[in-house]
Amino acid sequence: MDATTESRPITRPRRPFARIMAAFGDMMPKGLYARSLIIIIAPMVLLQSVLTFVFLERHWQTVTRRLSTVTVQNIAMLIDIYKSYPQDANAEILTRLAEQDLGLRVRFAPGEELPEARAKPFFDLLDSTLSEELTRRVGRPFWIDTVGRSNLVDIRVKLDDGVMHVLARRSQTYASNSQIFLLWMVGTSLVLLTVAILFLRNQIKPILRLADAADSFGKGRPPPIDFRPRGAREVRQAAHAFIEMRDRIERHVEQRTVMLAGVSHDLRTVLTRFKLQLAMFEDNPELEAMHADVDEMQAMLEDYMAFAKGDSGEEIVRTDIGEILGEVRNQAHGTKDIKIEVKDEPLVVPVRRHAFKRAVANLVNNAARFAEHVNVSAAKQNGSLTVEVEDDGPGIPEDEHEHVFRPFYRVDHARNQDAGSTGLGLAIARDIARIHGGDIALSKSRLGGLKAVLRVPV
């Protein structure tokens, strides 16, 4: 092998069967209801189609052969009579007899020849059966036309002195069950489809209710009023497991909330005593530093308790997002330039008001600490509330975007030089967003700094 040849990874092309199956999978419906209908209906319709076609086809061929045999026997009888009594008067009698008693239109054409033979249709049962019977029972040259759209079949037989024309009704020679077959298939398929739809709808409904209850619980909303275990045994087991899981989580949250309330009360009591004791001393630089330390401890305690509690116990109420953003701007750190834009105002959505305000305030304050200009926008799109916070600060490296959401995580960057931060702002904001069933994502801002996007379903 040449040393200059560059080695390349060998990529095997996908097999045609794999591509076909992948394309077929993409065309299949994604919902459980539609897939269940296909699983039930498709095999039944296919099996019924095969069985019905096999039995009806056999019956069809048998009846067609018998009808063709009777028609050819009548033609052979008329030929025998004509050969025995070839007078012109007998031809008229035979014509009248054939039409009145046999249902055949017969005409004798002396001196005429048969038309040129045409190609036989490959799938025409009548043509093959009638030709076989004429060859076996008449034994003379013949010409037939069974392909036309007319209700008559044209049969011509070569006689010694001419040609015998016979017009027979198609129903006399051919048993067509196509309409019966289609009606049978469509009728039974509709019955099967109706039964399957009624049955599956009752089976899928408990699964959809369970999914709605799980979705509501994940977003912190109360479950549907009529939710209870229903449906098949497996669905009931899943519903009971979900209810038990929900109860355990609620008990855990309740116990944690009670414990945190006690811890918060005790710590606030200690800090209050510190403040009272400091208030008894005369003002001096050392005392001001102690006051600042106590205030910082108070702020840190509030952040720790908010992160541990998660604000999950607050009720969901319809809230004006523009009003929340205005309050956040007025309470933001410093006197930075904060611009607010709310699309389709008033923008009123159901959220936990205080928790949501805290999440937005954490994002805005985080931007205001390190930037001179902050833009905040809110809009409702595709069933979700989106709040974007952009700044012109130093930003955060892209590989640190997920890490900064960890509690107490510090980035070795210019945004990490604020000593007043507890390192919980972004963690609390994401926790609140996820309690609402949403999330927060970071990216590069158009202003050159950091862009935080808070998105929650509403």
Q: What is the pLDDT of residue 204?
A: 83
Q: What is the pLDDT of residue 315?
A: 78
Burial label for 407, CB within 10 Å (0-12, 13-18, 19+), is middle
Q: Where in the chain is the domain with CATH 3.30.450.300?
A: 56-176
What φ, ψ does residue 170 adopt, rounded to 5°? Answer: -60, -35
Cα angle: 193, vertex 195, 196; to 5 degrees: 65
Homologous superfamily of the 56-176 domain (CATH): Sensor histidine kinase RisS, periplasmic domain (3.30.450.300)
Q: What is the pLDDT of residue 290?
A: 79
What are the residue ranges in the chain where pLDDT is below 50? 1-11, 122, 413-417, 419
Q: Distance between CA atoms of 313 and 407, rounded to whole angstroms?
A: 21
Q: Where in the chain is the domain with CATH 3.30.565.10?
A: 317-457
DSSP per-residue string spanning 63-102: HHHHHHHHHHHHHHHHHHHHHH--SHHHHHHHHHHIIIII
Nearest to 380 by CA among 346, 353, 357: 346
Nearest to 145 by CA among 123, 164, 119: 119
Which stretch of DSSP H or E encloses residue 397?
none
Bridge partners, 373 (sequence order): 337
Q: Distance between CA atoms of 434 and 456, rounded to whole angstroms?
A: 8
Record the pTM.
0.50
Q: Where in the chain is the domain with CATH 1.10.287.130?
A: 232-309
Q: What is the pLDDT of residue 9?
A: 47
What CATH architecture applies to the domain 232-309? Answer: Orthogonal Bundle (1.10)
Q: What is the pLDDT of residue 376?
A: 93
Structure confidence by residue, pLDDT tens digits, 123-161: 566 677 888 888 888 888 888 887 665 678 888 888 888
Q: What is the pLDDT of residue 388?
A: 93
Homologous superfamily of the 317-457 domain (CATH): Histidine kinase-like ATPase, C-terminal domain (3.30.565.10)
- Angle between helix 321-331 and 353-370 (nearest 10): 40
Structure confidence by residue, pLDDT tens digits, 259-302: 777 777 777 788 888 778 877 777 777 777 777 777 777 777 77
Task: Give the rounded percent of residues in the chain with a pLDDT score beyond 70.
Answer: 80
What φ, ψ does residue 9 adopt, rounded to 5°? Answer: -65, 140
